[in-house]
Amino acid sequence: MMIAIPDLFSPADVAAVRAIIDAADWVDGNVTSGTQSALAKQNEQLPEGGDAHRRAGAMVLDALGKSPLFFAAALPLKVFPPLFNRYSAGQTFGTHVDNAIRIQRGTEFRIRSDLSMTVFLEEPENYDGGELVVEDHFGVQRVKLPAGHAVLYPSSSLHHVTPVTRGRRVASFFWLQSMVRDDSARRLLFDLDQSVQRLTGQLGGTDRSVIELTGVYHNLLRMWADA
């Protein structure tokens, strides 16, 4: 399942995050690469653990906590501390698959990477190239969203970032472990949740059918979730 999450950040939030990370020192993006990714990756990354990383990452996590669409689609159990990267001057990230287990450097925190997420922090008209291309059972999807918008997709997908030929692509990226491990089960729960929300708007929350469908949703979640 691949889901776009519009307006995760307001324009003011984007500006605030950019003010923090643009003023920081950046390093080679391969500091977080696995063996395979290092062969394909050419970009810069905000160093983990620094003040800028912590402050900007906290803003991303705060935005996620306020997004009902994110929660419905991801059903998050654990979120890896958000990272930040940028591409310019022909930089790219070739086709790869994300590591199944992500470990936060210097800690015992680890997650199974069920889902990957990119939050775009630069307007698309300000750079050429830099599309996120994701290949999965839903086909090949090319993603280049407005600043403040995000995309969520299975970490098991093959994906790459096309070369940037003008300007600079800036984004936050990270992984999360879902309460529901199976992607098809998450898709069913998401579709059911969205239907319940629409019916609630039409019929009201006290309608018998809405209450019964809500019960089906929670019983399926109870059956499939690890919490």
DSSP alpha helix (H) spans, the chain? 11-22, 35-38, 51-65, 68-74, 183-203, 208-224
Average pLDDT in the 74-96 region? 96
Q: How do residues 161-193 score in pLDDT, each as one tens digit?
A: 999 999 999 999 999 999 999 999 999 999 999
Region of residue 98 (phi > 0: left; psi between -120 and 50: alpha; otherwise: beta): beta
Q: How do residues 8-44 score in pLDDT, each as one tens digit?
A: 999 999 999 999 999 999 998 776 555 555 567 899 9
Global confidence as pTM = 0.92
pLDDT for the residue numbered 41: 85
- The residue type found at 197 is Q
| Distance (Å, whole) CA 89 – CA 80 | 29
pLDDT for the residue numbered 39: 64
Name the average pLDDT for the chain. Answer: 94
- 122 pLDDT tier (thresholds 50, 70, 90): very high
Average pLDDT in the 187-211 region? 96
Q: How do residues 139-167 score in pLDDT, each as one tens digit?
A: 899 999 999 999 999 999 999 999 999 99
Domains detected in the chain:
3-178 (2.60.120.620), 183-224 (4.10.860)
Residue 66, pLDDT > 70, answer yes
